[in-house]
Structures are given as C-alpha cells and as structure tokens.
Amino acid sequence: MKLSLLEIEFHLPGCRSLKEKRGRLRGLRDRYGKQGNVALCESDFQNVHDRSLWSFVIVGTESKIIDQTIARLQESIEEVVDALVASSRREDL
C-alpha cells in the first residue's frame, strides 16, 4: 500500500466571512470526499477568511494510481473551487 499527501493552499480574494469561505470551498468536500482512495480536510487557516490549506491523503496499491488521482485532482480543482491556488506541495509517505 502506498500513500501520498497533497497540500494545497488557497487564497480567497474578497472573502469576508467564514460562512462565505465554507461556501466557496464546499466543492472540495462534495467532489473528492466521496472517493474511496482520497481523504481530505482543511488543515490550516480555519479561522482566516481569505486563506485555506487543504490536505489530501491519497491511497493506492501502485504509485501510478496515486499519480493519476493527484493529476486529476489538480486539473479539476479550478473548476470546483472559487479560489486561487497559492501553492501546492506533494509528499510521498
């Protein structure tokens, strides 16, 4: 079994409340939280209106499966989330 951690930091320009922030980032949990090989959570900046750090743990039997999952996730993130990607970091565990 192989694991990878993907951390993505988002910048939410113009976001004025935590309620608005949750609404703008809801697409992450709705879309990726249902995949069997992906676990995710907001891992930092929970009380900051215009920033958010999300951690995704991807599990697979082969590195190729993890690579494909991460590539699909990164490609579709702009369609799902109303935020700018400030940074992205991957760590194989």
Q: Are 70 and 4 in contact (CB under 8 A)?
A: yes
Note the pLDDT of residue 78. Answer: 79
What average pLDDT does range 41-51 have in this prediction? 93
Where in the chain are the domains? 2-92
Of 18-22, 33-37, 86-90, the range with the lowest mean pLDDT is: 33-37
Q: Are 42 and 25 in contact (CB under 8 A)?
A: yes
At 87, is the pLDDT very low, low, confident or very high (cuts 50, 70, 90)? Answer: very high
> Does the structure show a pLDDT above 90 at 33?
no
What 3-state class would DSSP assign to 59?
Answer: strand
As a whole number of angstroms, the distance between CA 18 and CA 24 comes to: 10
What top-level class would CATH report for the domain 2-92?
alpha beta
Strands 51-60 and 84-92: unpaired
